[in-house]
Structure 1
Amino acid sequence: MSGLLRRPGRYTDRHGAQDIVFESDGRELIRTTIRGVRFEGKTMDSLGAQGGELPEPMVTFRDGDLWACLLEWGLTVPVEVEGRGERIATVHCAVRLGYPVETEDLTVALRLDGREYRATHPDFEDALHEIGAALPGGARLKACISCAWSDYHPVGHGMMTGLACFRGAKDVYRRCDGKKGPDGILTIWPRHTEFVQETWLCEQFEHRTSDRGYRGPFPFRGWD
C-alpha cells in the first residue's frame, strides 16, 4: 500500500464539535485541519499546529500538542475467519486528551458480523491484544500488530506508531530469542526497516506465531 489514507474523524472540545479528516501514511505521519488550522504529528496524542501563532483559545495545547479534546476516527481492518475467508471489520477509535476530565486514554471498538469488541487502554498494543483475544475461535486480525515481522523496543513505546517492522531483515528477526545476547532484540534493533502504526498492513504480512521475536505471540496469552 502507498500514498496517504484519508480517514473520517471528529474533533470535540469545550467549544463544540467538528467533522474532520485525518490523513496518514500508516507509519509516522498524521495530518488534519481543525478550525482552519493545520495539525501534524507522529501520533494522535502529539499533534502540533503547523506554522503561525498557536490559535488559543479556540484550541488548547499542552507542551505544544493538542490537548483538552476528544479525537475520533474510523478505519477498516481485515479479519481472517477460518472456513469463511477474509472479512472486513470496521474500527472506531477515540482518544481522550484531558477532556472532559483530566485523563488520557484510547478506546478501540471493532465491529465484525454484527458484534462489537471494545477495549480501553493507554495504547493500541494493549487494546488490540484484548480485542484479538476476544474474537471468536478461528478469527484472527490481519494488521501490523499481529504480523510475524513486527516488534516493540524493550524500553517501551507510546500510544501508537512505536511498532518496528523487520520485513527487510527477516533472516535476522527469525533468530530473535529475547531481549539481550547476539540474537536479542536490543542487538538487532538497528536492522528494523521502519516504524508502522499497529493497524497498518502491507503485502508481506504473515501471522505471528507463539515463538516469534521478543514480544511473543499475538494476542497475549494473558488476555485469554
Structure 2
Amino acid sequence: MTQRWPGRYTDRRGSEQIVFETDGRELIRTTIRGVRFEGDMMDDLGALSGEPPEQAFSFFDGALCSCLLEWEVPIPVEVRGSGVRPGVLRCALKLGSPAGPGRGLDEETLVTTLHLDGYEFRNEDGQDDFEDALHEIQRKLPRAARLKACVSCAWSDYSPVGHGLMAGLACFRDVKDRYRLVDGKHGPRGIFAIWDDLTEFVQETWLCDQFEHRTTGAYRGPFPYVPVN
C-alpha cells in the first residue's frame, strides 16, 4: 500500500508544495519542478532522469542538498482509556551544502513535531535521525500515551553496525520466537545469527497488524530508552 505524504520543498531558488509517495519500507518518490526523484531516505533523493539538472537544484553525490524538505506522516497514538488517537508527525529536514571532499554536508538537521489532540510534542535540537527523535517525542508524551509504529514495535531492530537517517529498520515478525531469545550481537542467540531471516526492512513510522509494544525484555531495549547522562 502506497502512502502519500503532503510536503514542501524549499531552496534559494524558491519553494513549492509537493507530495512524497512511499511504500513504507525502502522507497520514497516525489516530483519537484517537474523532475522525478527517488531514494530510500529523505537525505538520499536522487533524480531519475539521468544527469542531475544542476541549474535547478543542488546535489552532493547525486542526492539533493542545500534545501529544506518538509512533510507530514500520520502516526497513531494509543492512549490508555481512550483507545487509538490519530496523530500527525510534521517533519522538517534541513540539508546543508557540501563541506568538501569526503566530508559530507556542513549541516543536516531534523526537526519532528507530533500533533495530537491539539497539543504539540517536539524532539530536542541536535538529534539527527528518526530513532532518536521519536524516542524523545515518546518521553515527552503523557505516561498513558504510546506511539504505535514500527520504531516502537517488539519485533523491530536496527543493524548493530549502524543505520542512517531513517528506514533500514529490520522487522522480525516471521521469526518472533527466535527474536525473543536474542541476547547479544554474536553467538547462537545473537542478532547476527537470525539477521538473514528478517521479514523485511521498514520505515520507523510504518505499521502492520502484528504490532506489539516494545518493553524492557526486548534485546534492543524498551521504547523509549532512558538516556544515560
TM-score > 0.5, shorter chain as reference = yes
Please give the range of the TM-score, normalised by the shorter of the 2 chains. over 0.9
The corresponding residue for 1:220 is 225
Select the residue among 32, 36, 43 that pairs with 1:45: 43
Deviation at 1:166, TM superposition (A): 0.4
**Deviation of the 1:223 alpha carbon:** 8.0
| Mapped partners of 2:106, 2:16: distance in 1 | 21
8 A contact 1:151–1:165 mirrored in 2:
yes
The reply to whether residue 116 of structure 1 matches residue 120 of structure 2 is yes
Q: CA RMSD in A?
A: 1.5
Residue of structure 1 equivalent to 2:56: 58
Residue 196 of structure 1 and its aligned partner are, at CA, apart by 0.3
Q: What is the aligned-residue identity percentage? A: 62
* Candidates 193, 201, 219, aligned match of 1:195: 201
Partner of 1:127: 133
**TM-score scaled by length of structure 1:** 0.94
1:52 CA displacement: 3.4
Deviation per CA, 1:131-190, whole angstroms, max 9, x where unpaired? 011100111000000001000111110000121000111111011112222111122111
1:70 maps to a residue whose letter is L
Aligned to 2:102: none
C-alpha distance in structure 2 between counterparts of 1:168 and 1:43, whole Å: 25
1:139 to 126, 139, 145: 145
Supply the distance in 1 between the matched residues of 2:210 and 2:221 (Cα, whole angstroms). 19
Aligned partners of 1:208 and 1:102: how far apart in 2?
35
1:5 maps to a residue whose letter is Q
Q: Work out the number of aligned pairs and report it.
A: 220
CA distance in 2, matches of 1:220, 1:134: 12
Query: Counterpart of 2:111?
Result: 107
Number of the residue aligned with 2:101: none
Structure 2: state its 5+ residue gaps: 98-104
Q: Which residue of 2 aligns with 1:176?
A: 182
